[in-house]
Amino acid sequence: MNDFPIENLPYGAFSRDGSVHLGVAFDERIFDLHAASRSGAFHDVCEPGVLEAENLNPLLAQGPHVWAAVRARVRSMLGAPVDAELFVERAAASMRMPVAVADYVDFYSSEQHARNLGKIFRPGSEPLLPNWKWMPIGYHGRSGTIVVSGTPIRRPSGQRKAPDAERPDFGPSTMLDIELELGFVTGDDAIFGLVLVNDWSARDIQAWEYQPLGPFLGKSFATTISPWVVPLDALAAFRVRPAPQDPVPPSYLQIEDDFALDVALDVRLQSEEMRVAGMAPAVISQTNARNVYWTMRQQLAHVRSNGTRIRAGDLFASGTISGSEPTSYGSLIELTWRGTKPIRLPNGESRAFLEDGDEVTLTGRCDRNGVRLGFGCCSGRIEP
Ligand code: MN
């Protein structure tokens, strides 16, 4: 299936001739927005600096009217013959961060995930904390270590403390995990588009540090996003009614015309041994973003509710997306139940958590009402 038909037209940044250009993915190619802008194709739509920038932030700051005008122009240009100089082959392109991420927020909006982690981290107590169904729980993460798909991930070191140990020790994480998430990128006050997010997590560091102030170094060492930002406009065909919420949330979280997105999500893992043997990555989880309890608009409304400012280039991630079946959990700590039920890989290896050389790839696909599109890949390989 082609992730990037004319209905999609996601934005990214890639290197060309020693500089970074913005582009739009279309089938197997990238339409070079920078080059098209220099040829005057957008002179009546936005200032040259917007599409000739090295990331999407100037475009994000323009707001929804300009976003719609740029998208309409790109779509009409790609519907007609275009100068071959305005394209590069996507497979050969080196992708860069599409956005200079301003602030990064990570939510915790999948009920199944929150319940699973409650059972794992706080056995014997109620899995869902009392606030969970009243607001989208989240924390501010570290934007400076958000990296684009393909960037190697160094195994972090930190303090870990075994339950029966007297004191913690400092060393490489032995419980390195993934988190399957979707994230949205904002302009000043509106959702521009979505990316896949792998919010890498060191569970041993997390478990020892997280009380009382929440996630910190076990989360901040790296977060990977997919290189193509899928415009919210492209996802209109995949809007679905969100599941009813009980209890009914406070009025600022009751949003008319709210929606969830029907995006099928897969996680694949390929070990070093599998790669050397030429074996394809193994699917270790499959789920869907429509199951997420709190919607993107509720997340944004919640962040804004205290009067804070939303900036162009802010990234808001959903939190790990887990379905109700054990094969649809979005992290290894859930899939292996904190390592007690290791995953079997097709070559006979087993995994509780990630080993050096493991490569994890997230994909997202939409297929509804005759429209099919995808998010591309979000990959990272673990290095010692
Ligand atoms: Mn997360």
Pairing of strands 223-225, 146-148: parallel
The residue ranges of every structural domain in the chain are 11-95, 104-383
**Which pLDDT score is estimated for 1?**
79
Pairing of strands 11-16, 19-26: antiparallel
Cα 250 to averaged position of ligand 1 atoms, centre (Å): 25
Cα 179 to averaged position of ligand 1 atoms, centre (Å): 6
Cα 318 to averaged position of ligand 1 atoms, centre (Å): 7
DSSP 265-289: EEEEEE-HHHHHTTPPPEEEEEEEG
How does DSSP classify residue 52?
T
Cα 17 to averaged position of ligand 1 atoms, centre (Å): 36
What is the CB neighbour count within 10 angstroms for residue 206? 23
Q: How far apart are CA 309 and CA 225, in angstroms?
A: 23
What is the CATH architecture assignment of 11-95?
Roll (2.30)
**Which pLDDT score is estimated for 210?**
92
DSSP 333-384: HHHTTTTTSPEEPTTS-EESSPPTT-EEEEEEEEEETTEEEEEEEEEEEEE-
Cα 108 to averaged position of ligand 1 atoms, centre (Å): 7
Buried-state track 288-320, b at ≥16 Cβ within 10 A, e below 16: bbbbbbbbbbbbbbbbeeeeeebbbbbbbbbbb
Question: 306 Cβ partners below 8 Å, 6+ apart?
Answer: none
* CATH number 3.40.50.10880 given to 104-383: no
The residues annotated with a catalytic role in the active site are 113
**Token pair belonging to 117:** 């982690």
Cα 169 to averaged position of ligand 1 atoms, centre (Å): 25
pLDDT, averaged per 10 consecutive residues of the chain (384 residues), comes to 95 96 98 97 96 98 98 97 96 97 98 97 93 98 98 98 95 98 95 98 96 96 98 97 96 97 98 98 98 97 97 98 97 97 98 98 94 97 97
**Could you report how far apart the first and last alpha carbons of the chain are, in Å?**
35
